Structure 1
Amino acid sequence: MIETFLIGTYTHKSSEGIYQLKLDTTAKKLFDLSLIGSAGNPTYVAESKAQKVYAVDAESEDGKKVGGLKMFDGSTETLGELGTTLTPGSSPAYVTVDEDRQFVYTANYHTGIVTVYKIEADGTLTTASTVQHTGAGPLPEQQDGPHPHFADVTPDGRLVVCDLGNDTVYLYDISDDGKLTEHSRFNCARGFGPRHIVFNTAKHVAYLVGELGSGVAVLAYDEAEGKLTLTQALKTIPKDWTQHNGAAAIRLSNDQRFLYVSNRGYNSLATFAVGEDGQLSLIDQISSEGDFPRDFNFNADESFVILVNQNTDNATLYSRNAETGKLSLVQKDVHVPEGVCVAPRI
């Protein structure tokens, strides 16, 4: 079977935008990398069920930075441009689609703003609302102010936002017209730098990855109260690792038995087993076979994992044992320029 993936990238060196990468599950190989959409630093991409692709976009107008999203028709292999939503300032770090409400959400690391867009009938976007975060953390380099890095829908329909800059996870209620009202917030350990979060619906817990703390926090999630509470904290790297590391992407298998986290610096994928109570135990570390692994993702039946290394311009393919959760190297050194995001195509 041939499966296809969207690859979001930086465009600082040789990359020109959004790429498509194919996986042959029978031959067990990645192949046929192709440029399918031009954009400036499309570091994160999301595709709707209507096959509209929304990509982070950074451009320049009259010598000044503008950023936002570029919209594409994804019904054909090469993306057709539909328009942009660019405003003064830097581009967001994350984008996702809310199929139930027909909204798109972005988290802007640079400006501290969370934006809700309404999806119009033709797939284009109009701004529904924005929220400006405030506050800072103890680490001056990346916590000099608010830096929301993730905004996505919880299993029970709230918006959860991870703010790396002020060490806070926000839960928002979402109105029918896209307005956000803060419901609760979880304050992380100082310097944790919350980056992304995933929810285990079977265990009523969430797993929060901390970029700056190179850790995973296990949070009990009370849906009725809309509240997160810390129950466990683990490292994603060995205790004796003293060089720089930034934890990045986090993914939970569909059976909710195994959790995976990428490490940039230690350059690995960490595998955690999920216990009966939802708590985690580290069971494996495997090399990313490159430098600065940003994102990774499963294929359709989760028998493979595709990872991209930003600094070494390469992708790595692993097979995944569904019973043990462990990964095995299948293919490395697949050319992918400045890879940041891996998203299965609809």
Structure 2
Amino acid sequence: MADGSRRRAYIGSFTTAGGHGIRTADVDPDSGALTALDVHEGLPDPSYLALSGDLLYAVSEAPDGAVAAYRADGDRLEPAGPPVPVGAGPTHLSLHSGHVLTADYGSGSVTAVPLRADGTLADRASGVLRHRGSGPDPERQQEPHAHQVQPDPGGRWFLTVDLGTDSVRVCTLRDGVPRLHRETRLPAGSGPRHLAFHPGGDRVYVLNELTPTVAVCRWDAVSGALEPVSETPVLPEPPTGDAYPSGIAVSPDGRFVWTATRGQDLLSVLAVEGGGLRPVAAVACGGVWPRAITLAQGRLYVANERSGDVTWFVPDPETGVPLRGGSLRVPAASCVVLG
């Protein structure tokens, strides 16, 4: 938050596709509407962001990948030290046990970078976990492709989602080194991309990119065991043309799951019923190629990469169906976080 009264949004973008870097925007406290403020240039392809207090962390999704930290100074971002090298093509990052963890898509690895006491990055990574394996898709799954790294709600474990190996790995961080605890296989060719925890802490929803589905899994936080139990299509009917799910979010009350699908340019609503999911509706995402969705303050923010905008929606509290509120022009938008 830039001051004591106004919220800020930070929007990543692909500079190699016309993006300007990391955009700062004001968030209207009543409507959730975004108003563009400053933009920070200099980091190539800051495609995913994570926020902790007044520090913003960003991956540079480049062949020679890196992670960088910035301090919010009013409406501006100021570098909090130089970028730190990680694996190739990092697509996601999260904070866990005094470290920044990055999911390195290109090198199929997870990298841990320690945080100093003031939250800035150490000079170098402390450890790397390299995934192994492949999948049946000859174009997308010839090798591992770590796409997300997500701590569990209890903070003991973190989960890495690998599109290339059709698996989710449960891991620990010991002495700054990511270590494999166990690996859970999903159906061959599913291409898992991102996951989200149910607020009850006993279920995980894994969004599959190559077969537009959500896998519902049981989660045991004591033993660190993930068990697939069912799979639900995210689209109302079999797609024609491209259909690549990208982002997933769960309502704080645990009643709804939302997903975004590129190519079809849809937001899907699934109701949580018992241990499974029931498709409810699908609505236009407000742009083209929705790369990521964020749920904050009762609103869904969608980063539409190819139309170059961030669109916000208000989900109906009874049905979960999103109602469009407005949009902000952001070329090659890739993700949104709110402070």
TM norm. shorter chain > 0.5:
yes
Residue 205 of structure 2 is aligned to residue 207 of structure 1 = yes
Question: How far 1:121 moved relative to its partner?
Answer: 2.4
Counterparts in 2 of 1:178-189, with a 5 A limit?
A: 178-189=176-187
1:6 — aligned with what? 10
1:55 — aligned with what? 58
- Contact 2:207–2:213, Cα closer than 8 Å, also in 1: yes
**Partner residue of 1:153 out of 129, 146, 151:** 151
Residue 279 of structure 2 is aligned to residue 282 of structure 1 = yes
| Equivalent position amino acid for 2:172 in 1 | D
1:309-338 C-alpha deviation (Å, 9 max, x unpaired): 101112212112223322111224x31110
Structure 2 CA distance, aligned partners of 1:28 and 1:84? 32
Equivalent position SS for 1:324: coil
Structure 2 CA distance, aligned partners of 1:109 and 1:217? 21
1:307 — aligned with what? 302
Residue 248 of structure 2 is aligned to residue 244 of structure 1 = no
Counterparts in 2 of 1:62-101, with a 5 A limit?
A: 65-81=63-79, 82-86=81-85, 90-98=88-96, 101=97
Question: How far 1:289 moved relative to its partner?
Answer: 2.1
| Equivalent position amino acid for 1:23 in 2 | V
* RMSD (Å), alpha carbons: 1.8
Provide structure 2 residue ranges, at least 5 long, that are not aligned to the other structure. Answer: none
Structure 1 CA distance, aligned partners of 2:231 and 2:61? 36
Distance 1:319 1:265, change over 3 A: same
Counterparts in 2 of 1:331-342, with a 5 A limit?
A: 331-332=326-327, 334-342=328-336
1:272-299 C-alpha deviation (Å, 9 max, x unpaired): 1112x23111111110121100112123
Question: How far 1:194 moved relative to its partner?
Answer: 0.7
Question: How far 1:69 moved relative to its partner?
Answer: 0.9
Distance 1:201 1:26, change over 3 A: closer
- Contact 2:68–2:121, Cα closer than 8 Å, also in 1: no
- Contact 2:38–2:75, Cα closer than 8 Å, also in 1: no
Question: How far 1:130 moved relative to its partner?
Answer: 0.6
| Equivalent position amino acid for 2:187 in 1 | A
Equivalent position SS for 1:66: coil
Structure 2 CA distance, aligned partners of 1:240 and 1:169? 25
Question: How far 1:52 moved relative to its partner?
Answer: 1.8
Distance 1:25 1:284, change over 3 A: farther
1:124 — aligned with what? 121
For structure 1, which segment, 103-112 or 117-126, has the greater mean C-alpha deviation from structure 2 after superposition?
Answer: 117-126
- Contact 2:85–2:125, Cα closer than 8 Å, also in 1: no
Question: How far 1:43 moved relative to its partner?
Answer: 0.2
2:171 — aligned with what? 172
Equivalent position SS for 2:319: coil
Question: How far 1:109 moved relative to its partner?
Answer: 0.4
Question: How far 1:33 moved relative to its partner?
Answer: 4.7
Structure 1 CA distance, aligned partners of 2:17 and 2:145? 25
Runs (4+) off by over 4 Å: none
Structure 2 CA distance, aligned partners of 1:140 and 1:5? 38
2:251 — aligned with what? 253
Aligned length: 331
1:62 — aligned with what? none
Distance 1:14 1:323, change over 3 A: same
**Partner residue of 1:104 out of 100, 109, 119:** 100
Structure 2 CA distance, aligned partners of 1:259 and 1:38? 35
Structure 2 CA distance, aligned partners of 1:27 and 1:241? 34
Distance 1:33 1:266, change over 3 A: farther
Question: How far 1:22 moved relative to its partner?
Answer: 2.5
Provide structure 1 residue ranges, at least 5 long, that are not aligned to the other structure. Answer: 60-64
Structure 1 CA distance, aligned partners of 2:196 and 2:290? 19
Equivalent position SS for 1:83: coil
2:33 — aligned with what? 29
Structure 2 CA distance, aligned partners of 1:24 and 1:119? 32
